[in-house]
Structure 1
């Protein structure tokens, strides 16, 4: 009798555990990545500065934001809609993490236990010798003009006849890099770099995912 009760209980548990809803793995699909979907809202088409970076900016096309980055040593100039030297751009980068409370921590460093480090009583100060007279610095001649930086990656204006020929205003891909492109304005070429992981798509004149662009450099 006890054997039949145990067998019935085992059968009941097996049926209960067997009621598992099967999962169709084919239904697990991931969204195909879009062109550029940052946390930025496009109110109109055009070029807009990145509120989190002086070096970045967005190009809005049909309410879709495309993120771009200027070359090293340059900022986006919202007045000219291209990259420019920092001295010509009124932009202040947002503060780094730590805030106001993080300032001066090196001067007020605490020990590992959170207590202020113990300091010994100061001894009597020794006589400090009088400082020697410091000679006045010699006048240096003012530099003639401001030299342009030697960084060729910086997207400053390039004359026609360089990497690309600006026959008309518009966008041209960089023949040496899939990630870069040029914007021609009044016969002058300005170089831009797409954000990490993206390349320039000449069909939409914006940065896009590499699998959507036919570029071999």
Structure 2
């Protein structure tokens, strides 16, 4: 994961530099970006929690649909590991897709189309099932719009990382509650008793 993060950041910075921008202006570390990222994460977490807890059948479908891609969660990971993975995804993916791809594509295609292109690539690299990929695409559009409006790569990095902490925690908890790795069918309406 750490190598992937480093590679994504390096490619993102290279695309940024290729677009004629100074490398030193790639991501500004400032309190406003951190606060905005926290607000973005809170909104995304509230929306996800509303779906997860308000629509249990949809939540179960989404959890089961991601089982193959999240097989690394078969052995429960400690919370610090979920944070580490989330930081890597937030920093690396936003550096590549928003800081690199969206910025460079925006120079040639305009911001709206660049957001769609970057979000499409963002969804594709997650190798998700169609409905999950569509959700990831929409989240990518949200990140892209926030980046376009605020010009703060830090805000989308922080928002993405914090959202992922919640999402990974929830997905891991539910995958084990639903026992998706054993192949047994357990729904949200029942629990395993042995």
Pick the structure with more strand per residue. Answer: 1
Larger radius of gyration: 1
TM interval, short-chain normalised: under 0.3
How high is the TM-score relative to the length of structure 1?
Answer: 0.19
By relative contact order (CA 8 Å, sep 6+), the higher-ranking structure is 2
Pick the structure with more helix per residue. Answer: 2
